[in-house]
Amino acid sequence: MVSETGHYIGGQWVHSGPLFQSENPSDSADPIGHFHAAGAEHVEAAVSAARGAFPDWSHSPLETRQSILDEIGAALCARADELGLLVAREEGKTLAEGRGEVFRAGQFFRYYAAEVLRPTGELVPSVRPGLQVEVTREPVGVVAMITPWNFPVAVAAWKIAPALAYGNCVILKPSEKTPAAACALAEIIAHSGLPEGVFGMVNGDGAGAGQALCASPGVDAVSFTGSVATGRAIARTATERMAKVQLEMGSKNALVVLGDADLDLAVQCAINGAYFGTGQKCTASSRLIIERAVYEPFLEKFMAEASQLRVGHALDPETQIGPVIDLQQLEKNLEYIDIGRAEGATLAMGGERLERPTSGYFMQPALFTGGTNDMRLNREEVFGPIACTLVADDYEHALAMANDTEFGLTAGIMTRSLSRAAHFKRHAEAGCVMVNLPTAGTDYHVPFGGRKQSSFGPREQGQYASEFYTICKTAYVNA
């Protein structure tokens, strides 16, 4: 149980507002804690504290920012075991995945701590004789961050770290499904020496705290990660008053397996992409597009290995696939099993709710075969451990199917052909392309984001994050 259960506003923990509960998806008899939901007054207090802190923080010495971010990063890395356990308990990912997430969050802070010391600007000759032009970047102001539950620490970290590094003030509104993980992150940030008001956090649901934050005139920019429907609603609210918006949303990623692929590696990558993290990743491979020549051997190996995956309590070290986040998501997954069947696909493996010693939301990873790319099963994001194979006649057919989607976050190809891989890298309509790798799993020092309905606005992560968290100024000097 984390001790802080309120909001973090103006450098203080504020314990008021109606209570809601966070539950353990592996065991409904193990509640994680109670948390206060923010009302409009909490949101406005956090915005006002952030606005008050912005003038000083935006001009703070680079080494101050560098050392604070470095300290947050070091604390997250040092406490990865302890906080990873909390993430696993609250989100349902395995212990290893939980630890990995918290450590990665620390790496984001360390990376941006170093970035603080690499400020850039341009000095450009003017077209007018005697003048010089300076192009500099300034922080945007107060940035609201609305985050999902599936990476409750890492997604928040990859937004907060660059925002602070470039001199912005931040208000985080984490998912109401994983408030304990967010509070643990906020607690670390609270002890980092950051001036009061520079970082704030309000808990609560999207319709309440989230909507109020996006609508607040004191918020200059909103960085959102979550579903497409919520992204659209946030964009409407924020752009109505001309706030800057960045949206990272869902997807329907394809992994293409060509006839010349290393089949063992292809199966490993397909299982990893489709089911690890319980399939609850925006980068998950839900469409497995297999060239006809290797379809049967691929399927045989895939089923043999995937049917052995150990589904269970997230804290059991033997577990490979943890529970689904909650009953609502489990019901949605099971509904898509029915939809897939009704559309004519064959449920070749799994797809049923599992009983375990504790009462949780366990589901056997599912594989559909015999599907087509126009089925709802293959067009809509399910966000669960459900994949469908699609048979391709050849590479061109596979590429066309991979691109035939309204989403475009990641796309993968398994092949030994350099020319096919090169062609796929150029022609896959996705923000991130993986060659002989799972569609999930990215680095922190390079841009991350998608195309089409998966993303809107500038990329996140690496130096590209400065596109969103800074604004250009062009100064003309008659020297």
- Report the 10 Å Cβ neighbour count for 236: 11
Per CB under 6 A, the list member of 14, 87, 146, 387 interacting with ligand NAD is 146
Q: Which residues contact 474 (CB under 8 A, 6 or more apart)?
A: 133, 134, 135
Answer positive or negative: Cα dihedral of 283, 427, 235, 185. positive
> Which residue in 91, 248, 291, 381 is the catalytic one?
248
C-alpha–C-alpha distance, residues 400 and 394, integer Å: 10
Kindly identify the residues of this chain, within the stretch 346-365, that bind ligand NAD according to CB under 6 A: none
Q: Is residue 249 part of the contact set for ligand NAD (CB under 6 A)?
A: yes
Determine contact, residues 259/293, Cβ cutoff 8 Å. yes
Distances (CA, A) of 440 to 52, 271, 433: 40, 11, 10
State the nearest-atom distance from the C-beta of 139 to ligand NAD, in Å. 23
Q: Does 340 bind ligand NAD (CB under 6 A)?
A: no
Q: Which stretch binds ligand NAD (CB under 6 A): 76-84, 223-231, 334-342, 413-421?
A: 223-231
As given in the structure block, the two tokens for residue 305 are 């290995």
Q: Which of 203, 211, 319, 333 binds ligand NAD (CB under 6 A)?
A: 211
We find the least distance from the C-beta atom of residue 64 to ligand NAD, in angstroms, to be 30
Q: How far is the CB of 450 from ligand NAD (least distance, A)?
A: 6
Distance CA 1, CA 419 (A): 53
Is 401 one of the binding residues for ligand NAD (CB under 6 A)?
no
Which of 60/227 has CB closer to ligand NAD?
227
Q: Least distance (Å) from ligand NAD to the CB of residue 380?
A: 10
DSSP code per residue over 221-272: EEEEES-HHHHHHHHHHHHHTT-EEEEE----EEEEE-TTS-HHHHHHHHHH
Minimum distance between the CB of residue 462 and ligand NAD, rounded to whole angstroms? 14
For residues 84 and 314, what is the distance between their CA atoms, to the nearest angstrom?
A: 11
Is 442 among the residues that bind ligand NAD (CB under 6 A)? Answer: no
Q: Site for ligand NAD (CB under 6 A): which residue of 54, 57, 149, 468?
A: 149
CA–CA gap between residue 246 and residue 220 (Å, rounded): 12
Q: Which of 24, 94, 147, 192: binder of ligand NAD (CB under 6 A)? A: 147
Does 176 sit near ligand NAD (CB under 6 A)? yes
Tell me, what DSSP letter sits at residue 191?
A: T
Residue number, 149 or 302, with CB nearest to ligand NAD: 149
Q: Are strands 410-414 and 386-392 parallel, antiparallel or unpaired?
A: unpaired
Q: Is 150 in the site for ligand NAD (CB under 6 A)?
A: yes
> Whose CA is closest to 204, among 333, 14, 460?
14
Q: Does 92 bind ligand NAD (CB under 6 A)?
A: no
Length of the chain counted residue by residue: 479
Subset of residues 280 to 309 that bind ligand NAD, contact rule: CB under 6 A: 282
d(CA 235, CA 323) in angstroms, rounded, equals 32
Show the beta-strand stretches assigned E in 271-322.
285-291
Q: How far is the CB of 346 from ligand NAD (least distance, A)?
A: 26
**Two tokens, residue 264:** 């063992």
Instruction: Match 């409407």 to its residue by tokens.
Output: 236
Task: Check 214, 282, 388, 432 and give the catalytic one.
Answer: 282
Query: Whose Cβ is closer to ligand NAD: residue 230's or residue 278's?
Result: 230
d(C-alpha 371, C-alpha 86), whole Å:
38
179 makes contact with ligand NAD (CB under 6 A): no
Known catalytic residue: 82?
A: no
Shortest Cβ distance from residue 237 to ligand NAD (Å)? 7
In the annotation, is 282 catalytic?
yes
Task: Give the number of residues in contact with ligand NAD, rule: CB under 6 A.
Answer: 30
Our CB check for ligand NAD shows the closer of 233 and 293 to be: 233
* Least CB distance to ligand NAD at residue 444 (A): 13
Check binding of 226 to ligand NAD (CB under 6 A).
Answer: yes
Question: What Cα–Cα distance (Å) separates residue 427 from each residue in 254, 406, 442?
Answer: 13, 15, 20
Binding site for ligand NAD (CB under 6 A): 146-151, 155, 173, 175-176, 205-207, 210-211, 214, 225-227, 230, 233-234, 248-251, 282, 381, 383, 409
Task: Catalogue the active-site residues.
Answer: 248, 282
